[in-house]
Amino acid sequence: GAVVSQHPSRVICKSGTSVKIECRSLDFQATTMFWYRQFPKQSLMLMATSNEGSKATYEQGVEKDKFLINHASLTLSTLTVTSAHPEDSSFYICSAERPGIGYGYTFGSGTRLTVV
Amino acid sequence: AQSVTQLGSHVSVSEGALVLLRCNYSSSVPPYLFWYVQYPNQGLQLLLKYTSAATLVKGINGFEAEFKKSETSFHLTKPSAHMSDAAEYFCAVSDDGATNKLIFGTGTLLAVQP
Rounded distance, CA A52 to CA B37, Å? 28
CB pair distance less than 8 Å for B107 and A103:
no
Rounded distance, CA A112 to CA B69, Å? 38
* Whether the Cβ atoms of residue B13 and residue B83 lie closer than 8 Å to each other: no
Rounded distance, CA B30 to CA A95, Å? 24
CB pair distance less than 8 Å for B102 and A46:
yes
pLDDT given for residue B53 in this prediction: 77
- Detail the DSSP E strand segments found in chain B: 3-5, 10-14, 19-21, 24-26, 33-38, 44-50, 56-58, 64-68, 73-78, 87-94, 102-104, 108-113
User: pLDDT by residue (tens digit) across B23-57?
Assistant: 999 876 767 899 999 998 888 999 999 987 788 99
Burial of A83-96, coded b for 16+ CB within 10 Å and e otherwise, reads ebeeebbbbbbbbb
Cis peptide before A8 (omega within 30 of 0): yes
Rounded distance, CA A39 to CA A89, Å? 9
B3 contacts chain A (CB < 8 A): no
The H or E element containing residue A105 is: strand A105-107
Q: Considering only CA atoms, which of B69, B68, B67 is closest in space to residue B58? A: B67
CB pair distance less than 8 Å for A93 and B99:
no
pLDDT given for residue A54 in this prediction: 85
B83 CA to chain A: closest CA distance, Å? 20
A91 CA to chain B: closest CA distance, Å? 8
A107 CA to chain B: closest CA distance, Å? 6
Q: Which residue of A has its CA nearest to B87?
A: A41
User: pLDDT by residue (tens digit) across A27-52?
Assistant: 899 989 999 999 877 888 999 999 88
Query: Could you give phi then psi for residue A8, rounded to 5 degrees?
Result: -80, 170
- Residue range B65-82: average pLDDT? 95
Q: Which residue of B has its CA nearest to A42?
A: B106
pLDDT given for residue A1 in this prediction: 67
pLDDT given for residue B97 in this prediction: 65
User: pLDDT by residue (tens digit) across B3-22?
Assistant: 899 999 999 999 999 999 99
Residue stretches of chain A with pLDDT short of 50? none
pLDDT given for residue A40 in this prediction: 79
CB pair distance less than 8 Å for B44 and A102:
no
pLDDT given for residue B98 in this prediction: 61
pLDDT given for residue A4 in this prediction: 93
Q: Considering only CA atoms, which of A109, A116, A115 is closest in space to residue A8? A: A109
Q: Round the average pLDDT of chain B to a whole number and report it.
A: 91
pLDDT given for residue B42 in this prediction: 84
Q: Considering only CA atoms, which of B8, B39, B45 is closest in space to residue B24? A: B8
pLDDT given for residue B28 in this prediction: 67
